[in-house]
Structure 1
């Protein structure tokens, strides 16, 4: 998974996978809203799915709320509102 944060409020997530010998990806674009000093909300557009040369949108909008528990120049730790844990490392 790769996450790109584009100033001021755009989030792009991409999960790559391989199935039956075909490479694929699920991509999400979302709008970031700061809720307070620890919590953020991201509202995602419908996901884009690509398997081989076939691409399509699937599903509807989705939303996630994350508590940012730690952040520095290299790492960001977060906890989702449903208990999921996230570790993001900055690429150089």
Structure 2
């Protein structure tokens, strides 16, 4: 009843950019993002359909959309710690 296609496969990240000019979008990045968003819509529909037909203890909320803001106290504390470093003209390069 709630059959979903396999989620899109994200490409393996490449090496970090060496210069600002190297920091460009990967070919197909927009299409990959759109595929993830479409799959998220399917997950939300399946979750809502599931929750309509099961007893209360089994009901689930749809997963957060990739575009929704997520509050993470650890991340907020980290950036609060980093703020004075950046204001002092220094920085930290984060790459994922």
Q: Does the alignment reach a TM-score above 0.5?
A: no
Q: Which TM-score applies when normalising by structure 2?
A: 0.20
Structure with bigger helix share is 2
Structure with bigger strand share is 1
Pick 1 or 2: higher relative contact order, CA cutoff 8 A, min separation 6. Answer: 2
Larger Rg belongs to: 2
